[in-house]
Amino acid sequence: MINQSIQLSFRQVRALVEHTLLLFKELDQQLANRGYEPVLPEVVQTEHGLSIHQTKESAESLVPHFLTRTYVRQQEKSNQHGLLISVQYTHPLHERFDPVVLVGDVTFKQAKHALKILSEKPWLLKYAAFESTIARDFVADGTRYTTQPIDEIEELIVWGHPFTEMRDIDDVKRLAEEMISRHLEPGTT
């Protein structure tokens, strides 16, 4: 009896991760159409790196707290701006936690730090939303919060939505538009 329950739980976790990977792949396409590319094209970041091409049967896909993708403008990898997205499944400081999509728009103090930070600190959104000075007020309802989680960052604007709001391609398109809205020329979409 307990064995069946555990198997069902693992199947559900695998399905959740698979849904997240599909979200990231679609977002990759939506952001590519708008001039952005992943910093690590083949990698989904978490506490450790995972391949974006893993299958549901892959042992690597079991129980991460979050998965993250980071983006920069194509042809401008030395700029001071980056985009981040994480799906946060759980958090050790929160007993009851519904999965959320966290989004970040980051400005670096110096462009030379951008790729290193985006590649090596996949926890930035988790930290900003749930552990930094804004954590007490943070609600994943689309409200934007501004913080400076580490010294190399000038500003990190973070917001979120319930993961259950990401149901189809139109939802992902809207998310992509939200992510780039501060960086559009006036009158463009």
For residue range 30-57, what is the model confidence (pLDDT) as tens digits? 999 999 999 999 999 987 655 677 665 5
Predicted pLDDT of residue 29: 96
pLDDT in tens, 57-74: 554 445 678 999 999 998
**pLDDT at position 46:** 84
Q: Which of 106, 83, 183 is nearest to 152 (CA)?
A: 106
pTM over 0.75: yes
Q: Report yes or no: 103 and 109 within 8 Å, Cβ to Cβ.
A: no
Token digits of residue 47:
């506490």
Sketch the domain layout of the chain as residue ranges.
2-183
Q: Report d(CA 140, CA 92) in Å as an integer.
A: 17
Single-letter code of the amino acid located at 142:
G
User: Does the pLDDT at position 109 exceed 70?
Assistant: yes
